[in-house]
Structure 1
Amino acid sequence: MESCGMNIIKYILFIFNLVFAISGIGIIAAGACVLADVGEFNHFVEGRIMAPPIVLIVAGAIVFIIAFLGCYGAIKEHYHMLIAFAAALLIIFVIELAVGIAAAVFKNDFSMAMKDTLKESMKNYSEADRMAWDNIHKKLECCGVDGPNDWSPANGFTSGFPSSCCKQDMNMICQINNEALVYQEGCFNKLEMRVHKGATVLIGVGIGIAFVEIAGIILACCLAAIIKRETDHK
């Protein structure tokens, strides 16, 4: 006969896993939103900056699958499945923790690498670079790395800044460098703010799901211990 304690923990764990499955979808959505937001400027963003949202999407998919493993293990009172569920949660927790620590440690490196990439792209300025700069100028309403002066003849741009630096489609008037007509803020600051905003979202979601994972590990281990004790007494 099942003990009252086992029943309570079993159904708590079952409900927890339903919530956990929904949170897995939430993680995927958060990672996808950040990836879409920052990925729009992937010409200037290093692969390692794009890695955290991709890892989060993968983790969300795994969380969604594992949640059903936990539900099945709880309802069927399967000891080994519950242990496997707890171990899987622990692995995901460690991966998320490692990604979070890496993002925090290399935060400044990410910014400097991104600025170097912007400057290198401006130096090369191929057709692909031109399209990428036009896109970032228009989408972020900025001009150059640090400002419109980056496109000056001193830097090798005899024709001045691209027309995409203009607030309106009035290139001839815009080239006079009228501050009222040209985006004055550099694209590095705008892009850095967007990357940091995405990182904040990922960190917030990561911390939230980490607490849920710890609760899941504790509940699964408690239920597994009760099941083992009940089995041993039979």
Structure 2
Amino acid sequence: MSRKHHHFKGAEVSCCVKYFLFGFNILFWLLGAAFLAIGLWAWAEKGVLSNLSSITDLGGFDPVWLFIVVGGVMFILGFAGCIGALRENTFLLKFFSVFLGLIFFLELTAGILAFVFKDWIKDQLNFFINNNVKAYRDDIDLQNLIDFAQEYWSCCGAHGPDDWNLNIYFNCTDKNPSRERCGVPFSCCVKDPAEDVINTQCGYDVRLQGELDRQQYIYTKGCVGQFEKWLQDNLIIVAGIFVGIALLQIFGICLAQNLVSDVKAVKANW
């Protein structure tokens, strides 16, 4: 009877904190499971799961990796937070808060380093985009990602259309038998509002023309410069998103630590 008396009259676990943390993490967990399922399904569709050695054959960035890594991290964290809160398991709650704190620290470090080493980051971005230009036809997900980026930012290549010389299908060498020789992908083309159907051949032979003539048909600015301009124009929104994510992480850590303290206080009274 004394144990019961201490549990209710002394320290007790806050139901609000417990079930709020549980609800928050179950949404997080389900979202992570969805991301992971999409990533694994995309891999299965491409036959990667039946031939794991093909992972190393990808020349460029595979967007499916993003879904698998982000989904896996969210799934593990959400699971630990859900079960930890529901079962009042201090080990899982500590794992959740430490792991979330580590992610927050890595994000903060990456942000500081990105600001300090802006020129190095820019060089790496150039290298990353050029590598993916080379692998444009190697992976349909990568191709869709590049097309989306070029259409969204109204750009072509890392620095300009001539970056597509790096791709074996678009380069201007005499030995290139491709019909796309000296061209660019359709996503580089300036859209005609009157056209309802996308003309996928609009970039054929366009780089055989002079600089001024090209501007009538394709975007001539590079994606690196356009991305930097987009960041500057949307700095408040981008900063707000990052601050919002950081506050959610801090809030989750505080809730988990609060629940751990409550559980320890209850156990101390037993």
Q: Same fold (TM over 0.5)?
A: yes
The answer to whether the 8 A contact 2:101-2:253 is kept is no
The answer to whether the 8 A contact 1:163-1:174 is kept is no
Where in structure 2 are the equivalents of 1:191-206 lying within 5 Å? 204-206=244-246
Cα deviations by residue, 1:8-37 (Å, 9 ceiling, x for unpaired): x341233123223234237638977xx9xx
The alpha-carbon deviation at position 221 of structure 1 amounts to 1.0
Q: Secondary structure at 2:111's aligned position in 1?
A: helix
The answer to whether the 8 A contact 2:19-2:85 is kept is no
The residue aligned with 1:166 is 189
Where in structure 2 are the equivalents of 1:130-149 lying within 5 Å? 136-137=146-147, 140-141=150-151, 142-149=155-162
The alpha-carbon deviation at position 119 of structure 1 amounts to 3.8
1:113 is the counterpart of 2:124: yes
Q: Secondary structure at 1:3's aligned position in 2?
A: helix
Unaligned runs of 5+ in 1: 36-41, 74-80
1:213 is the counterpart of 2:253: yes
Query: Aligned equivalents of 2:60 and 2:78: distance in 1?
Result: 32
The alpha-carbon deviation at position 186 of structure 1 amounts to 1.5
The answer to whether the 8 A contact 2:104-2:249 is kept is no
Query: Aligned equivalents of 1:125 and 1:57: distance in 2?
Result: 25
The residue aligned with 2:54 is none
Q: Secondary structure at 2:255's aligned position in 1?
A: helix
Query: Aligned equivalents of 1:222 and 1:126: distance in 2?
Result: 54
The residue aligned with 1:62 is 76
The alpha-carbon deviation at position 216 of structure 1 amounts to 1.9
Q: Which has the larger share of helix? A: 1
Partner residue of 1:179 out of 215, 224, 245: 215
One-letter code aligned to 2:75: A
Q: Considering only aligned residues, what root-mean-square deviation do their CA atoms show, in Å?
A: 4.4
Q: Number of residues paired by the alignment?
A: 205
Query: Aligned equivalents of 1:110 and 1:207: distance in 2?
Result: 26
The answer to whether the 8 A contact 1:31-1:202 is kept is no
Distance 1:117 1:85, change over 3 A: closer
TM-score w.r.t. length of structure 1: 0.62
Distance 1:219 1:126, change over 3 A: closer
One-letter code aligned to 1:222: D
Distance 1:22 1:121, change over 3 A: closer
Q: Secondary structure at 1:91's aligned position in 2?
A: helix
The residue aligned with 2:87 is 72
The residue aligned with 1:78 is none
Identity %, equivalent residues: 16
The residue aligned with 1:225 is 265
